[in-house]
Amino acid sequence: MMKADKMAELLNVDTALERILAQAVLLPDEEVSLTEAYGRVLAEKISAEDDWPPFDCSAVDGYAVRSEDVATAQPQQPVRLVVSLDVLAGQAAQRDLQAGEAARIMTGAPVPRGADAVIMVEDTNAGWGNNPSAPSPTEIAVYRAAQVGQNIRPKGENVHAGQALLSPGRVLRPVDVALLATMGLVAVRVHQRARVAIISTGDELLEPGQALSEGKIYDANRYALEGLVREIGGIALSRLPIARDRVESVREVFRQALALRPHVIISTAGVSVGAADVVRLVLDELGQVDLWRVNLRPGKPLTFGHLRGMDGLVSFFGLPGNPVSALVTFDVLVKPALLRMMGRQDKPRYALAIAGERMTSDGRRSYLRVRLRKEQGHIVAYSTGTQSSGALVSMVMADALMIIPEDVLVIERGTEVQVKYLNEC
């Protein structure tokens, strides 16, 4: 148990985050198929083994020619060539192209050796432009000259052998996975996704859909936290029952959570100093508290520690019960740890803004919900309304959090302030 006088101290936000991140261990990597790779965090360096495309190919439907053979071609004086080859996509030319010859060729097909340009079918008298399956004529008239390399995608145009393509830490997008497929890969190594168990505590909580009675409220925190975990690529584990304000209830729900083999457990409420705040008692049974109470508004009663899990230590975050406090502490202190565990290199987005109105703080580092507007070339921040930690609507309306430093009680209108964007992932 931490000493009472130590618990009474408020820990600096930056110090708390530094201590949390120091214990955020990178999760092991695993191999997944390309169909499972979207949104995953790459755990290996990807370099090209071969040139891509692996051969010179045609960029259009038309005729492969020797540019010197059609150097004088023009509409009034076309050059006539013998069509000696037919090259379809997925096939190779049967022989080299000779002087005075042309090869009908489709988009993506290999350019036959001997040819150094491709004439579009529209620049010839061939009539199959809208029907590539039609037989090729035995002779064509070419109406335009061609430059060397015209309408040819050269070997290695997209990627050169040995070229570095993707680095570890990259969140794989559909286009990245397409590039991996282009290279012929069927699987890729990615970091494991953080498995997060979420626990709500409190006698006052009901599941949405239950009949509401006096003194009861619906549990919103779990829905928000599950969404936030998924938003950054984590796995929100199957739902656990609400833990009631009794040691035996909290203990049982925590044991159920540990049985899910999570990497992280997040609970809301029960970590303050009230008579019914029993989560800390259970934490002392199942693990240890590493830090408690941060100089943060909203969100002072945050707890961080570790529990003894089936596969080793499990990180634990005890967030405040008020919805806005839970969301702000997740954004400021929990999300960076989850991102680091999953190998993601996302950085918070900050900006300088002008306070559009007078705002106040209580001396703790405060994160106030604000709307951002562009006015006369400046970003201007306006309060979303009441800054009560229970006012979830004020968070819904917010674009960012305005950061008021420690020991600053008033921000006057027109003051330059720092804002932290929400939803940057």
pLDDT tens profile 96-123: 999 999 999 999 999 999 999 999 999 9
Where exactly are the structural domains of the chain?
A: 4-23+200-341, 31-52+159-191, 57-153, 350-421
Contact of 384 with 397, CB cutoff 8 Å:
yes
> In percent, how much of the chain has pLDDT > 90?
81
Write out pLDDT tens, residues 173-183.
999 999 999 88
With a cut of 90, say whether residue 300 has pLDDT above it: no
The CATH H-level (homologous superfamily) assignment of domain 350-421 is MoeA, C-terminal, domain IV (2.40.340.10)
Please report which confidence band the pLDDT of residue 271 belongs to, taking 50, 70 and 90 as the band edges: low
CATH topology of domain 4-23+200-341: Molybdenum Cofactor Biosythetic Enzyme; Chain A (3.40.980)
- Residues 6 or more apart from 360 whose CB is under 8 A from it? 409, 410, 411
- What is the CATH code of the structural domain delimited by 57-153? 2.170.190.11
CATH superfamily, with its number, for domain 31-52+159-191: Molybdopterin biosynthesis moea protein, domain 2 (3.90.105.10)
User: Could you tell me if 101 and 113 are in contact, meaning their C-beta atoms sit under 8 angstroms apart?
Assistant: no
Global pTM reads 0.83
As a dihedral over the C-alpha atoms of residue 15, residue 19, residue 20, residue 22, rounded to 10 degrees, the angle is: 130
Terminal C-alpha separation, the chain: 37
Mean pLDDT in residue range 160-167 = 94
Number of H-type helices and E-type strands within the chain: 9, 27
